[in-house]
């Protein structure tokens, strides 16, 4: 935080520093009490029958997923919301807060508790990445939200006051469940243009080598590296990993070096992922939207996906998906890497 503050010349706040001991203890105590109630409900057949999709009983899947949240995620959500509320409470004035939180579940506690602490403060959500209708964490139902600005989070879900989206596609989707008058298009704040300065190309493409860019999201680096571990270092190819800003680079590097010490990967934090992407020959990712963004630059992309997890995106013909390393290597060897055409 100190480095960021010096680099940007901006004041940096750390809301979690405003948490109190009783906030932390209270979040764990209430979560434990809720877990006991859940265990009781779980044993009731009438409760289990509620978990049905088109006549198919899916309680075993959904109830286990629900219960897993009691072991950390629910506490995180509560403390995230409490931290923001305490922060606003100590400011003693209303503010406009710009957030990437969208309508994600972990941010709803912040919307709710912050409004209790600072009713006149406004939350403006910016579309975080590419969202589609089949992406469950970004598509909802109109009846989940109050369309009359009623502060009633018992019957309605907390939400931001405004929603800024990248383009007409998601604007149309959001307007199906969120008040259309509160939605505006602002374009992508990630890309000012699709051109990359020549010095960036020279910095990355040393010795005229081709580059494979590994671009993990926040929680998928382990299985990406696991799948990529069968890669044998090839002449004329460099492998570069660009970490997500919210991840710990040392953690990723330690995992790779301890588990796959012979895997040659360089870690680049001096250039942004999109700058690296534009000068690469192949982008390897998990559930990051960089796989789609690579097509803007005419760069091939693949996804590594972990078996047993729900995909976040519809299958794209131009973005192959691999569940194991050998399948990826077989595909790689068949490609014409002298051009970006298949």
- H or E segment to which residue 300 belongs: strand 300-304
Helix, strand, coil distribution of the chain in percent, nearest 5: 45, 15, 45
- Confidence (pTM): 0.77
Quote the CA–CA distance of 121 and 115 in Å, as a whole number: 7
- H or E segment to which residue 189 belongs: none
Quote the CA–CA distance of 166 and 187 in Å, as a whole number: 4
Positive or negative, the Cα torsion across 212, 216, 222, 226? negative
107: burial class by Cβ within 10 Å (0-12, 13-18, 19+)?
Answer: buried
Quote the CA–CA distance of 74 and 106 in Å, as a whole number: 8
Task: Give ∠ CA 114-246-242 in degrees, rounded to 5.
Answer: 155
pLDDT in tens, the chain (342 residues): 777 778 778 888 889 999 999 999 999 999 999 999 999 999 999 999 999 988 899 999 899 989 999 998 999 999 999 999 999 999 888 899 999 888 888 899 999 999 999 999 999 999 987 777 767 677 888 888 875 666 666 778 899 999 999 889 889 999 999 889 999 999 887 766 556 555 555 555 556 688 999 999 888 999 999 999 999 888 889 999 999 888 889 999 999 999 999 999 999 888 888 888 888 899 999 988 888 888 888 899 999 988 877 777 777 888 999 999 999 999 999 988 876 544
């Amino acid at each position: 935080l100190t480095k960021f503050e010096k680099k940007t010349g901006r004041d940096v706040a750390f809301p979690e520093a405003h948490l109190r001991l009783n906030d932390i203890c209270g979040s764990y105590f209430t979560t434990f009490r809720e877990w006991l109630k859940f265990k009781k409900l779980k044993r009731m057949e009438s409760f289990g029958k509620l978990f049905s999709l088109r006549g198919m009983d899916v309680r075993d899947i959904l109830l286990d997923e629900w219960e897993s949240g009691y072991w950390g995620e629910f506490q995180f959500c509560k403390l995230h919301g409490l931290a923001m509320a305490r922060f606003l409470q100590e400011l003693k004035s209303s503010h406009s807060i710009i957030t990437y939180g969208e309508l994600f579940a972990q941010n709803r506690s912040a919307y709710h508790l912050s409004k209790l602490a600072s009713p006149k403060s406004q939350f403006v959500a910016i579309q975080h990445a590419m969202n589609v209708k089949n992406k469950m964490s970004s598509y909802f139902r109109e009846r989940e939200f109050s369309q009359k600005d009623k502060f009633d989070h018992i019957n309605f879900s907390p939400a931001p006051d405004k929603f800024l989206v990248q383009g007409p596609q998601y604007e149309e989707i959001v307007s199906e469940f969120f008040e259309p008058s509160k939605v505006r298009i602002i374009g992508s704040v990630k890309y000012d243009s699709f051109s990359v300065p020549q010095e960036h190309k020279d910095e990355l493409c040393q010795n005229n080598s081709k580059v494979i860019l590994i671009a993990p999201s926040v929680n998928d680096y382990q299985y990406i590296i696991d799948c990529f571990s069968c890669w044998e270092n090839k002449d004329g190819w460099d492998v570069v990993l660009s970490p997500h800003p919210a991840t710990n680079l040392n953690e990723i590097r330690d995992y790779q070096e301890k588990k796959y010490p012979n895997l040659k990967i360089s870690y680049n934090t001096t250039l942004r992922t999109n700058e690296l992407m534009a000068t690469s020959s192949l982008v390897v990712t998990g559930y990051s939207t960089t796989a789609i963004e690579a097509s803007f630059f005419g760069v091939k992309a693949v996804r590594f996906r972990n078996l047993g997890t729900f995909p976040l995106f519809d299958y794209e013909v131009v973005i192959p998906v691999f569940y194991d390393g050998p399948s990826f290597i077989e595909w790689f060897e068949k490609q014409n890497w002298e051009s970006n055409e298949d």
